Each structure stands twice: as C-alpha cells, then as structure tokens.
C-alpha cells in the first residue's frame, strides 16, 4: 500500500461567486474548495440517500443514451487494460442512463458488485435543466472566449487510473466520497504510462496499481510518491487542479457522482498538442540520436524557449509564421500541414 503524506491545500468558506481564479491559475497547484457546492439540490439529495440522488438525476433525464463502462466484480472497479495490454478490461456500451442507475441500484449493497461507470457525459445533452440550480458562475474574463464544458461522471466504487487532461479542471463531488491522487506533469516517466491506444478515455493511463505497486517493475514510482498530493472530497467539496497534472480518481462510496468543468486558456483556433506528439512519433522519434538532439535544440528555440528569442531580430513585416498566432495564420498553418501530410 502506498503512503502519501502531502495533502492538497484546503480553502474553506469560498462561495461559487467568489472563486479567486487569478490566484488558482497563478499558483498552478491543486486546491480543495471545501463545501463550494454543498448548497446544490443535487448534493442535498445525495446527503439524504443514494436513492434520493438517483431520483433527482432521473427527474431531469431526457432519454438520450450515454457512454458507459460495464465489467464484472473481478476488476474491483479498476478500469484499465487487460493482462496483455492488448485491450481494455471492460465493455463499452451506449445505454439509457436509467438502465445504468437501475443496475447500480440492483447491486447497491452487494459485497462484490459488478463494476458500472458513466464517464464525461455532457450535462446539457442528457440532463437539460439540471444546471439551473446546480452550476457554478464563470464570470472571470478568462472564460469569455473559453466557456467551460460541464460534464457528469457517476458509478459505483471505481478507480480511474492516473492520467492527465489538457484542460484545467474544477471537479465537484456531489454524491459519495472521492479521492484524487495527484502528481505534477514532470512525473510522467515515474508513472509508467501504458499504450497510447487503446485507452479508457483518450489519454494514456499509468500502469502502476497504486494499491499494490510493483516497485521492481516500476521503481521510479517511489520518486513520484515523494511529490504526490492526496485530496479527499466529501459531498459538496470541489477540487481545482491545473492542466496536465496527473490524477488517479477513486469513487469510494456505493454510489458516486461528480460534476466537472473543463476549460482551456488558449484560443480555440490553436491546434491540439497531442497532434504534435503523434506527428513527432511519425517524423522524429526513430531518427538517429544526434538528429533528435539537433531537433530538440530547434524545438527549444522555436517552441519551448522565450517567444521573442526566435523573432526579435527579424523585422515585424518579415516574421511570417513567427508572428503572433491569430485565426488567419492558424488557418494558413493548418492548410499547409494538411497539404504536406496528404502527400
């Protein structure tokens, strides 16, 4: 069993209309906003009973099917790969939300229930009206061009293996208890990501079983533990964590519901960094080491270094693709890339 001594910072007394986004974004550290959404009717229903929480969700449900994970009790709610890493250890199904809730209810008090999970489902798409009384106001100027995406996650006891997400995140625990185990982005090597595909949710996941880590196979994980942080959430608590932080998420109760808000801080016309990684795998990774090192210097100069170093000595009228990116230049770059990739 792993031991993590550092707890995520807790801030109490924050109201939904007084979240200090400037401070959160500047610190780039996870923060628990204790009791932030405790006044939501959804949370109050969940505090009453599991059945009340399910009934409250059903009162908004419009009948659209949702993506879901189904597995037997043998995986103990730990969604990931099979033993050979050639496939996932659960079955994906699109089902009515009511079917999922009824299955969870049927096995609610089993000692070893079958694993049931609904991940990252648009609230507006399947629960219209829910956000009228269960929502956060995002009035900070940061959100004018990047409104958050609101999603719901629910299931019985679950473990979603450590992974990262490109957007920033506020995760609201609205039913059951949750535990997040978080690591800064630079710990990727010590978390031993699995294949880039298939994946449970789009990003590679850590192969380390945090409950029983194999330190002979994954020796670097002990270093990751030294900088890990744990956040234990009660119903009504929320957790902010920055873009690209690795996080394992555990649903600890018999029925668990989370509402989360994802947002980017970059303009919508910018490309997806994962596309860069995939193109680098195609174009750079298997070149000789001396070539890769040379290209590392090129990328450091044009991409990862100070922006002005690559263009300060060039007159503004001649900077071309090195000029600040806008929608028009983004379209031009995208068209050039598509043309080259199609050759």
Place of tokens 């989360």: 260
CB 43, CB 236: distance < 8 Å: yes
69-124 pLDDT, tens digit each: 999 999 999 999 999 999 999 999 999 999 999 999 999 999 999 999 999 999 99
**Alpha-helix residue ranges (DSSP H) falling in 59-142:** 97-106, 123-126
Higher pLDDT: 28 or 4? It is: 28
Length, in residues, of the chain:
343
CB 245, CB 141: distance < 8 Å: no
Calculate the alpha carbon distances from 330 to 142, 164, 239, 311, 323 in Å. Answer: 21, 26, 34, 18, 11
What is the secondary structure of 189-225 as a DSSP string?
A: HHH-B--SSS-SSSS--B---TTS--TTT-TTHHHHH
Q: If we measure between CA atoms, which residue out of 62, 41, 38, 63 comes closest to residue 53?
A: 41
Mean pLDDT of 182-210: 96
In-domain check, residue 247: yes
Contacts of 293 by beta carbon, 8 Å cutoff, 6+ apart: none
> Which pLDDT score, from 0 to 100, does residue 343 have?
76
Mean pLDDT of 35-48: 99
Together in a domain, 316 and 250: no
Contacts of 95 by beta carbon, 8 Å cutoff, 6+ apart: 65, 66, 68
Count other C-beta atoms under 10 Å from residue 67's C-beta: 14
In-domain check, residue 4: no
Mean pLDDT of 27-37: 99
CB 177, CB 156: distance < 8 Å: no
Together in a domain, 81 and 148: yes
Count other C-beta atoms under 10 Å from residue 75's C-beta: 17
Name the residue range of residue 136's domain. Answer: 9-263
Together in a domain, 168 and 283: no
Q: Which of 197, 231, 263 is a domain's end point?
A: 263
In-domain check, residue 268: no
Together in a domain, 197 and 323: no
Together in a domain, 201 and 122: yes
Q: Which of 206, 233, 263 is a domain's end point?
A: 263
Residue 318: pLDDT above 70? yes
In-domain check, residue 153: yes
In-domain check, residue 86: yes
Together in a domain, 79 and 153: yes
Q: If pLDDT is split at 50, 70 and 90, which confidence band does 3 have?
A: confident
Q: If we measure between CA atoms, which residue out of 169, 81, 183, 186 comes closest to residue 120?
A: 169
Together in a domain, 256 and 285: no
Together in a domain, 60 and 194: yes
Contacts of 329 by beta carbon, 8 Å cutoff, 6+ apart: 321, 323
Together in a domain, 259 and 292: no
In-domain check, residue 3: no
Q: If pLDDT is split at 50, 70 and 90, which confidence band does 188 have?
A: very high
Mean pLDDT of 113-136: 98
Q: Beginning with the edge strand found earlier in the chain, give each strand of the sheet holding 31-34 in spatial order.
A: 9-12, 31-34, 238-241, 168-175, 256-263, 149-155, 115-122, 65-71, 91-96
In-domain check, residue 202: yes
Residue 1: pLDDT above 70? no
Q: Which of 237, 263, 289 is a domain's end point?
A: 263
Q: Beginning with the edge strand found earlier in the chain, give each strand of the sheet holding 246-251 in spatial order.
A: 78-79, 158-163, 246-251, 178-183, 229-233
Which residues partner with 256 through β-bridges?
A: 155
**CA 306 to mean position of chain CA atoms:** 28
In-domain check, residue 2: no
Together in a domain, 73 and 172: yes
Token representation of residue 108: 């609610």
pTM, full prediction: 0.95
Together in a domain, 143 and 237: yes
Our count of domains for the chain comes to 2
Residue 2: pLDDT above 80? no
- In degrees, to the nearest 5, what angle opens at C-alpha 218 toward C-alphas 212 and 222? 75
3-state class (DSSP) for residue 240: strand
Count other C-beta atoms under 10 Å from residue 270's C-beta: 11
Q: What is the CATH number of the domain that holds 106?
A: 2.60.120.10
- In degrees, to the nearest 5, what angle opens at C-alpha 292 toward C-alphas 184 and 278? 60
269-278 pLDDT, tens digit each: 998 999 999 9
Q: What integer best gives the mean pLDDT of the chain?
A: 96
3-state class (DSSP) for residue 103: helix
Together in a domain, 198 and 287: no
137-158 pLDDT, tens digit each: 999 999 998 999 999 999 999 9
> Which pLDDT score, from 0 to 100, does residue 220 have?
98
> Which pLDDT score, from 0 to 100, does residue 155 have?
98
Residue 5: pLDDT above 90? no
């Amino acid at each position: 069993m792993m031991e993590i001594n550092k707890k995520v910072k807790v801030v109490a007394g924050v109201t939904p209309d007084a979240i200090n986004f400037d401070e959160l974004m500047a610190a780039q550290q996870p923060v628990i906003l204790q009791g932030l959404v405790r006044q939501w009717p959804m949370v109050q229903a969940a505090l009453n009973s599991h059945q009340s929480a399910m009934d409250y969700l059903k009162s908004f449900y419009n009948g659209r099917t949702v993506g879901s994970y189904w597995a037997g009790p043998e995986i103990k709610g730990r969604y990931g790969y099979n033993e050979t890493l050639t496939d996932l250890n659960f079955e994906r199904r699109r089902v009515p939300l009511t079917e999922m809730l009824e299955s969870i209810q049927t096995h609610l008090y089993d000692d070893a229930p079958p694993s049931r999970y609904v991940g990252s489902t648009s609230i507006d798409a399947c629960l219209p009206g829910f956000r009228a009384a269960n929502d956060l106001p995002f009035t900070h100027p940061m959100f004018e061009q990047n409104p958050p995406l609101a999603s719901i996650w629910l299931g019985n006891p679950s473990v979603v293996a450590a992974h990262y997400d490109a957007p920033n995140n506020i995760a609201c625990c609205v039913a059951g208890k949750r535990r997040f185990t978080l690591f800064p982005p630079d710990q990727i090597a010590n978390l031993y990501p699995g294949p880039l595909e298939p994946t449970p949710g789009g990003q590679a996941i850590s192969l380390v079983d945090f409950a029983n880590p194999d330190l002979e196979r994954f020796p670097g994980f002990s270093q990751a533990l030294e900088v890990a942080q744990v956040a234990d959430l009660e119903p009504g608590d929320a957790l902010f964590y920055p873009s690209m932080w690795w996080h394992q998420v555990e649903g600890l109760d018999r029925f668990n519901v989370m509402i989360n808000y994802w947002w980017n801080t970059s303009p919508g016309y910018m490309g997806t960094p994962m596309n860069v990684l995939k193109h680098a795998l195609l174009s750079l990774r298997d070149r000789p080491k001396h070539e890769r090192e040379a290209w590392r210097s090129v990328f450091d100069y044009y991409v990862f270094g100070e922006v002005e170093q690559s263009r300060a000595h060039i007159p503004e009228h001649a900077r071309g693709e090195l000029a600040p990116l806008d929608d028009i230049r983004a379209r031009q770059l995208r068209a050039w890339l598509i043309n080259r990739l199609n050759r």
